[in-house]
Amino acid sequence: MAFLSGLCAFPITPTDSDGRVDTAALRQLIARLCTAKVDSIGLLGSTGTYMYLSRQQRRRTLSEALDETGGGIPVIVGVGALRTDEAIKHARDAKALGAAAGLLAAVSYAPLTDDEVFEHFSSVARRSGLPIVIYDNPGTTHFRFTPALVARLAQVPGIVAIKNPTDGGDAILGHLQDQRQIVPKGFSIGYSGDWNATQAMIAGADTWYSVLGGILPEPCMGIVRAAQQGDHAQARRIDATLVPLWELFKTYSSLRVVYTLAEVLDICRAAPPLPIMPLPIAAKHQVADALARLRTAAVS
Residues flagged as binding site for pyruvate? 47
Q: Are 188 and 3 in contact (CB under 8 A)?
A: yes
Among this protein's residues, is 284 annotated catalytic?
A: no
Is 163 an active-site residue? Answer: yes
Angle between helices 243-252 and 281-299 (to 10 degrees): 160
**Selected catalytic residue, list 50, 89, 135, 284:** 135
Say if residues 246 and 254 touch (Cβ distance below 8 Å). no
Task: Enumerate the β-bridge partners of residue 132.
Answer: 102, 159
Neighbours of 283 (CB within 10 A): 16
The span from the CA of 18 to the CA of 127, in Å, is 32
Q: Which of 230, 269, 298, 220 is nearest to 42 (CA)?
A: 220
Write down the catalytic residue from 89, 95, 163, 284: 163
Concatenated DSSP letters of 168-182: -HHHHHHHHHHHHTT
Active-site residues, by number, are 135, 163
